[in-house]
Structure 1
Amino acid sequence: MKTSILRIALGLCILAACAPPATQKAAEEDNAAHTPPEALLVAGESAGKFHLGQDMDSVFSLLGKPDDGDAAMGKAWGIWHGQDTLAVYSTYADSTMSRRTARQIVVSGEGYRTENGLGSNTPLETIRESYPALQPAATYVSDPGGDTLWVYDAEASGIAFDFRKKDGQLLCTAVTIHPADEPVAATYLTIHAGWKKLP
């Protein structure tokens, strides 16, 4: 009897050892399950507590003065660095030029995820499963350095992803939430400072 129990236990241990490791998809779903609402990315709508159309005074009250940015012709980028970097592209809300509203929100870092776990370090192939209409939108090279950054946009959904190559595959480095049916590149100022856009 003892021998039978030992054989069964040994067999279970061998089966457990031979079981395949968790897949990338399972890891992404686990990340999604643990993403708090304040870090949830919603295509065409919001990044956590920040949403498209939000008054910039509200953004400043939550984040304080930007750490970096750029402004020209009534458009501006505000960039806040921290555990996760957040950037907000804003324009005047209307012709009165009395207030600015958020037009794009860019996040990088491990904290922000979509409801199905997409975000920083997610491979291009995995993102395509959720956004089959994802298309190349722009390619940049670092100057100097020669590193390459690819931007892919799911324009109709209102979400875009930056990628850089690591260990032979393209991995996400940033996510942009933008208005649905509006190209991610439809900004007067680029967020990719220090990068040269290829024609």
Structure 2
Amino acid sequence: MSCSTAMKSTKLILLGLCISFAACQSSQNAEHKTDSIASIESGPGKIVDERFLVVPGRSVGEISLGEDVENVGKLLGRPNAGDAAMGKAWGIWYSNDSTGGMRNEIAIYSSYRDTSMRMKDVKQIRITSDKFKTQDGFTTGKSIADTKLKFPAVEKVSTYLNENKDTVLVYDAQKDGIGFEFLKGKSISVTVHPMNKSVNATYLTLHPEWKLIE
């Protein structure tokens, strides 16, 4: 199969909520991913399919923190939505799934890698689908209590009112490199970010329609 065909196939799989990031990655990223998977396989428990594996502080599926954002565009195509300012941007890809009136999504936050302003890399990866899991099966839909058991360092960092006037709580396990949004007691998203950096350390707000109340 050609690289172009593989990328088109991958995009269709993503939009059907069976996201596959295996096609047409750079050899450098493939080597990095092999290293990370090898370390995970040495741990206990069932191994999650690499295409849906969440590694806090490192990666989601085949997209890694620090990766050239142009590679993400080649893999997923043009985003369905987003925002950009001052060399920083969110790109959002929606699924075709409309169960319960909600579309699952993957969002990528990127900015320039350094002061040369020649390349933008991935700074955060946010997903809402419960198909994505950590090595031991942790995913969206968990309670705050469950999340604290898994990530003892997690703390509430902000509170918002969304467009429906529902309260959304944002929690972050900063040292682990993973954050969560909670609505009505259940997590609705997982965000992977660099370890020891806040999930809120972004110039742009992913949900500009949300009102910060705390």
Runs of 4+ in 1 over 6 A off after TM superposition: none
2:73 to 49, 60, 64: 60
Residues paired across the two proteins, number: 163
Q: TM-score, normalised on structure 1? A: 0.78
Q: CA deviation at 1:34?
A: 7.3
Deviations 1:38-83 (A, max 9, x none): 1111110000100100001100010000000000011000000115
Structure 1 match to 2:121: 101
Task: Provide the C-alpha distance between the structure 2 equivalents of 1:162 and 1:49, rounded to a whole number of angstroms.
Answer: 22
Structure 1 unaligned runs (5+)? 1-31
Q: For 2:77, give the aligned amino acid.
A: G
SS at match of 1:58: helix
Q: CA deviation at 1:33?
A: 4.0
Q: For 2:157, give the aligned amino acid.
A: A
Task: Provide the C-alpha distance between the structure 1 equivalents of 2:94 and 2:207, rounded to a whole number of angstroms.
Answer: 15
Structure 2 match to 1:192: 207
In the alignment, structure 1 residue 74 sits paired with structure 2 residue 87: yes
SS at match of 1:77: strand
Q: Taking every aligned residue pair, what percent have the same amino acid on both sides?
A: 39
Structure 2 match to 1:39: 52
Structure 2 unaligned runs (5+)? 1-44, 98-103
Structure 1 match to 2:197: 182
Task: Provide the C-alpha distance between the structure 2 equivalents of 1:174 and 1:47, rounded to a whole number of angstroms.
Answer: 13
The structure with the largest alpha-carbon Rg is 1
In the alignment, structure 1 residue 151 sits paired with structure 2 residue 177: no
Task: Provide the C-alpha distance between the structure 2 equivalents of 1:43 and 1:34, rounded to a whole number of angstroms.
Answer: 15
CA RMSD of aligned residues (A): 1.4
Q: For 1:189, give the aligned amino acid.
A: L
Q: TM-score, normalised on structure 2? A: 0.73
The structure with the largest strand share of the pair is 1
In the alignment, structure 1 residue 139 sits paired with structure 2 residue 159: yes
Task: Provide the C-alpha distance between the structure 2 equivalents of 1:34 and 1:122, rounded to a whole number of angstroms.
Answer: 20
